[in-house]
Amino acid sequence: MSQVLPSTRGQGQPSGIMSSLKASAKDRLMSIKSGFRLGEFSGSLGDLGTLLPIMLSLSLMGQIDLTASLIFGGIWNIATGLAFRMPMCVQPMKSIAAIALTNHMSIGSVMSAGMGVSAVVMALGLTRTIYLVQKYTPMPIIRGIQLGTAISFAGKAADLVKQAKSFGGDSWTWNNNYEWACVAFIIVFIFYYRSKRIPTAIFLFAIGLIIAFIKLYTDPPAGAVYPKIGVYSIKVTVPTWEEFKHGFVSASLGQIPLTSLNSVIALASLAQDLFPERPAGTPAIAVSVGMMNLVGCFFGSIPFCHGSGGLAAQYRFGARTEVSIIILGLLKIFFGLFFGSSLSGLISSYPTAILGVMLFVSGIELGAVARTVNDGVYDDQKRHANFIVMITTASMLVGFKNDGIGFLGGVVAAICFYIGSKYMGRMDDDVNTLSEEQGQEQTTKPKGSHNSDENETVGEARPHASSYAVPDTPRC
């Protein structure tokens, strides 16, 4: 007996693991098989309004390698889709991109900035200290970051649309104008609640692609680059020590709060709201961000992150499973390998009016999550304080164009509300005190007072004195 029991346990354990792996693999295959719908393909295109303008701008300035960005972006799409089993977005680090374009940073400095941010965020994930940030960050601040990001998206969308020419006039152009923006806007909102069945993102992307082809081949700009099929390769990019210092100090420090709060914590919260049956762990998201750039940036890829805005956009346009971004990832790899940097001319001809509308929808979908800030909160003062903290966070984020400042503003407001409610009494206490004083004044009134005044005073004081009392019976 003593010889049988150990061997039985030794044989049973691998069998249990194998059966569990088989069940998991079968479940994943069934999920992928059921996810091949038109809505998933439409959802995969939902975040192009963020991706294309940033990627094109950096590639035209020689600050990233477009081929490497497409290939590694596709790899991370597929890898994160399989890992998280949801349409986890992969989008550029916006703060780094903005600073790089403004300061004309070299490709080595941009790569260093991406690796610096990723190293810090990955360390927070591996050590699980990201949980401390998540635990002590009140939900109104997270919602405020999401709302502020949504408003920022709307502003950037307006900038894209304004690059188009106005209605009519001598400066009007057929390929990029306000008329196309209005058409795209109407298409999106007519079918807003039918995104799973009616792939609006596919329609908009196809319209924009046709316009870009016609524009590029009939009226090309000076020095236009045409798509050319071939096999495009990538090369290793090793930043110098000076580039690393410049990239980290100039761009990484501003991106770390944005990535930690919006790309990790706010994203985990949004994923919990949209996919409660498949929650994404906060440390896992942080490690994912780290791995993407510690590998890709060595080959000149644009610094990538996840983001709550991208997930909201893909969800709005129909993405519900990992199939959407697996499809997107395969397309990116295909075009990166066989067209590479030759796509820059076609991308630059894409109408910004349509891209702006897609980005705008991404913003409003993310901002709509802010409506849940008081879910499960029934205390009026707490609800009011939550709303004020959320608005403070969003306003400072938008006003200073910095997630870190928005976060700090929300934290200070939340601490002040906590101290005020704990040591200075509740908001309702002042009302009750006023009502009691009015009652005392009424009892000291002279006998000649009018009955109407007496009834008014008692009527005003009664709701505060006994809000749960049985109403008085009518008097004869």
pLDDT, mean of residues 199-217: 91
Q: How far is Cα 269 from Cα 459, in angstroms, rounded to an integer? A: 46
The DSSP-derived string for 303-323 is: PEE--HHHHHHHHHTT--STH
pLDDT at 426 over 80: no
Q: How many CA atoms lie within 13 A of 170 on its CB side?
A: 0
Does residue 143 have a pLDDT over 50?
yes
Q: How far is CA 113 from CA 70, 123, 235, 302, in A?
A: 19, 16, 19, 10
261, 309: one domain:
yes
Average the pLDDT over 250-278 and give the result. 85
- Write down the pLDDT at residue 349: 92
Listed range (221-230, 417-426, 437-446) with the worst mean pLDDT: 437-446
| 432: in domain | yes
User: Is residue 260 assigned to a domain?
Assistant: yes
Q: Judge whether 206 lies within some domain.
A: yes
> Where does a domain end: 371, 399, 429?
371
Residue 261: what pLDDT? 84
What CA–CA distance (Å, rounded) separates 82 from 131?
23
The answer on pLDDT for 470 being more than 70 is no
Same domain? For 435 and 347 the reply is: no
Output Rg (C-alpha) for the chain, integer angstroms: 28
Cα 84 from chain centre: 16
- Domain assignment of residue 94, yes or no: yes
Q: Which of 316, 337, 371 is the last residue of a domain?
A: 371
- Tell me what the mean pLDDT of segment 103-109 comes to: 89
Same domain, 383 and 421: yes
Q: Cα–chain-centroid distance for residue 277?
A: 20
Q: Is residue 326 part of a domain?
A: yes
The DSSP secondary structure of 139-197, one letter per residue, reads HHHHHHHHHHHHHHHHHHHHHHHHTSB-SSSTT--SSSBHHHHHHHHHHHHHTGGGTTT
Residue ending a domain, choose from 348, 371, 394: 371
**Looking at the predicted structure, is the pLDDT value of residue 153 above 50?**
yes
Its pTM stands at 0.74
Rounded CA separation 263/145 (Å): 11
Residue 165, phi then psi, degrees to nearest 5: -85, 160
Across the range 399-415, mean pLDDT stands at 88
* Within-domain flag for 158: yes
Asked if residue 387 and residue 322 are part of one domain, the reply reads no
Q: 27 falls in which pLDDT band (50, 70, 90)? A: low
**Rounded mean pLDDT, 63-85:** 94
Which among 259, 242, 329 has a CA at the least distance from the CA of 93?
Answer: 259
Alpha carbon distance 431, 439 (integer Å): 12
- Token readout for 331 is 């397309």
Closest to 431 (Cα-Cα) out of 377, 381, 374, 382:
381
What is the spatial distance between Cα 321 and Cα 184, in angstroms, rounded to a whole number?
A: 25
Are residue 314 and residue 388 in the same domain, yes or no?
no
**Closest by CA position to 252, among listed 293, 310, 311, 308:** 293
The answer for residues whose C-beta is within 8 angstroms of residue 330's C-beta and 6 or more apart is: 74, 78
Please indicate, yes or no, whether residues 332 and 395 belong to a single structural domain of this protein.
no
C-beta separation of 44 from 324 below 8 A: yes
* Average pLDDT of the chain to the nearest whole number: 82
User: What is the residue range of 427's domain?
Assistant: 379-441
Amino acid 428: pLDDT: 56
- In terms of domains, do 196 and 300 share one? yes
Residues 327 and 418 both lie in one domain: no
Residue 1 lies in a domain: no
Residue 250 is assigned to a structural domain of this protein: yes
Tokens of 452: 């109407």
For residue 431, name the pLDDT band (cuts at 50, 70, 90): very low
Query: pLDDT digits over 321-364, tens only?
Result: 889 999 999 999 999 999 999 999 999 999 999 988 988 887 88
Q: State the SS3 of 61-111.
A: CCCCCHHHHHHHHHHHHHHHHHHHCCCCCCEECHHHHHHHHHHCCCHHHHH
Residues 359 and 422 in one domain: no
For residues 41 and 119, membership in a common domain is answered with: yes
In this prediction, residue 438 carries a pLDDT of 54
pLDDT for 390 equals 95
Count of domains forming the chain: 2
DSSP secondary structure letter of residue 340: G
Same domain, 386 and 302: no
Same domain, 357 and 394: no
User: What is the rounded distance in angstroms from the CA atom of residue 128 to the CA atom of residue 122?
Assistant: 10
Output the six-digit token pair for 176.
């990029």
| Angle of helix 308-316 versus helix 139-162 axis, rounded to 10 | 70
How far the first Cα of the chain sits from its last, in Å, is 93
Question: Residue 472: what pLDDT?
Answer: 39
